[in-house]
């Protein structure tokens, strides 16, 4: 039976993580890694910021983080007037960029980037925008120029100042972060303050092949013998979670974070139980079906699991996974119609009683047919460790 911890706030969850990393009462239970799964909208990004803020007590800082806020440190200047000097500007005021000006950052990023993409780049630490070039004292920016080899009139040439795609941009920022992570591991100048790294959902725009490669690369860095930095990784991506789980056998804890609205948060300690996203989702839907709080968006979750079953069994249509059930035609129509509506988890729409009964029948028929066994993850909660 897995342990469930109750918390009033995400700050309390962050403090629990820090407690796991720094236990003085039982040093043998100190951890090097925390791996966290949570659905979108649960609060992963907010949790990463709470963890970061907790390290600022006393005016210092101790956490290097990668999350949605990290991506905001990079923004495009597209030279709308001249349409030539398209560069990615860096917010050089951020501690994230620390001492990169003197650390040959380009040659640390390239080996990582070229595993995933074919474009090149140059970092310019004295970039002046074309619109400001004529000023007496123009502002100097940090900027990245991108380059790609392309055929021009049948001849291969380097085309500079290109605008890379959103996916390529995300890859570049991720590789930039990995290079800085390695600098922090080496206690390089400008990063000797890093005691913790918090990584939240790094693969939101990647296909599964790149997700696997990225996860393996991250695992290699975390496993470095000289790495003394404690790391938290949170994700909603089940494939990424499972790869990190299997690749990293270091001193770790693995959790599933649940949001309970006004009741706070529950942190399920999965211990060494294999993690299966579809079972977790079905368990959640099963728990919901036993209550009276069923919302229309729960049909989307049910459809998601059914689609995975369709792929697993090699079927071509979703009705095949409920074939043979009583009222299978009605069930199929209900899943199709009710899972395609505009139902927001942030503004949930309750079902009518008839629709709730229909949801329960479809869920029970599907789970009974394939004899799913649910783990006891919703046992009575206990309080966090002191």
**Structural domains in the chain, sorted by start:** 3-62+195-269 (3.40.50), 74-167 (no CATH), 277-369 (no CATH)
Q: In the predicted model, is pLDDT for residue 172 greater than 50?
A: yes
What pLDDT does residue 344 have? Answer: 45
Measure the CA–CA gap between 191 and 103, rounded to whole angstroms.
11
Task: Supply the pLDDT for residue 181.
Answer: 95
pLDDT of residue 176: 94
Whether 297 has a pLDDT exceeding 90, the answer reads no
Q: What is the pLDDT of residue 343?
A: 46
| Tens digit of each residue's pLDDT (9 = 90 or more) over 313-364 | 888 888 888 888 888 888 888 887 776 554 444 445 667 888 889 999 999 9
pLDDT digits (tens, 9 = 90+) for 227-251: 999 999 998 887 788 788 888 877 8
pTM for the model stands at: 0.72
Q: Work out the mean pLDDT of the chain and round it to a whole number.
A: 83
Lowest-pLDDT choice from 152-161, 303-312, 324-333, 371-380: 371-380
Instruction: Tell me which of 34-48, 80-94, 97-111, 188-202 is least confident.
Output: 80-94
Q: How confident is the model at residue 378 (pLDDT cuts 50, 70, 90)?
A: very low
Give dist(CA 312, CA 284) in Å, integer: 21
Does the pLDDT value for residue 272 go beyond 60?
no
Q: Answer whether residue 379 shows pLDDT above 60.
A: no
Average of pLDDT values for 45-65?
Answer: 90
Percent of the chain residues past pLDDT 70, beyond the cut: 89
Which is it for strands 196-200 and 63-66: parallel, antiparallel or unpaired?
A: parallel
């Amino acid at each position: 039976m897995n342990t469930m911890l109750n918390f009033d706030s995400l700050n309390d969850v962050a403090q629990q993580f820090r407690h796991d990393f720094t236990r003085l009462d039982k040093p043998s239970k100190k951890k090097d890694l925390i791996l966290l799964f949570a659905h979108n909208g649960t609060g992963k990004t907010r949790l990463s910021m709470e963890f970061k803020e907790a390290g600022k007590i006393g005016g210092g800082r101790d956490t290097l983080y990668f999350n949605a806020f990290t991506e905001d440190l990079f923004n495009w200047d597209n030279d709308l007037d001249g349409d030539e000097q398209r560069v990615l500007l860096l917010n050089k005021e951020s501690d994230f960029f620390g001492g990169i000006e003197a650390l040959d950052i380009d040659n640390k990023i390239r080996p990582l980037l070229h595993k995933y993409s074919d474009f090149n780049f140059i970092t310019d630490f004295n970039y002046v925008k074309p619109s400001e070039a004529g000023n007496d004292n123009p502002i100097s920016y940090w900027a990245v120029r991108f380059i790609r080899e392309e055929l021009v009139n049948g001849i291969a040439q380097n085309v500079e100042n290109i605008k890379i795609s959103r996916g390529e941009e995300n890859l570049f920022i991720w590789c930039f972060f990995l290079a800085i992570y390695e600098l922090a591991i080496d206690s390089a100048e400008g990063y000797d303050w890093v005691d913790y790294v918090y990584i939240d959902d790094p693969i939101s725009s990647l296909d599964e092949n790149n997700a696997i490669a990225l996860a393996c690369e991250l695992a290699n860095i975390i496993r470095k013998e000289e790495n003394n930095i404690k790391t938290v990784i949170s994700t909603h991506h089940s494939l990424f979670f499972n790869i990190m789980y299997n690749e990293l056998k270091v001193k770790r804890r693995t959790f599933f974070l649940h949001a309970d609205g006004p009741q706070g948060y529950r942190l399920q300690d999965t211990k060494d139980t294999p993690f299966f996203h579809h079972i977790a989702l079905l368990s959640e839907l099963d728990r919901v079906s036993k209550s009276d709080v069923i919302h229309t968006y729960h049909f989307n979750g049910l459809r998601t699991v059914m689609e995975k079953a369709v792929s697993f069994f090699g079927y071509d249509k979703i009705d095949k996974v409920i074939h043979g059930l009583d009222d299978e035609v009605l069930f199929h129509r209900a899943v199709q119609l009710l899972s395609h509506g505009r139902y927001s988890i942030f503004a949930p729409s309750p079902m009518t009683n008839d629709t709730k009964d229909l949801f329960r029948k479809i869920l029970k028929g599907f789970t009974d047919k394939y004899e799913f066994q649910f783990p006891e993850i919703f046992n009575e909660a206990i309080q966090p460790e002191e």
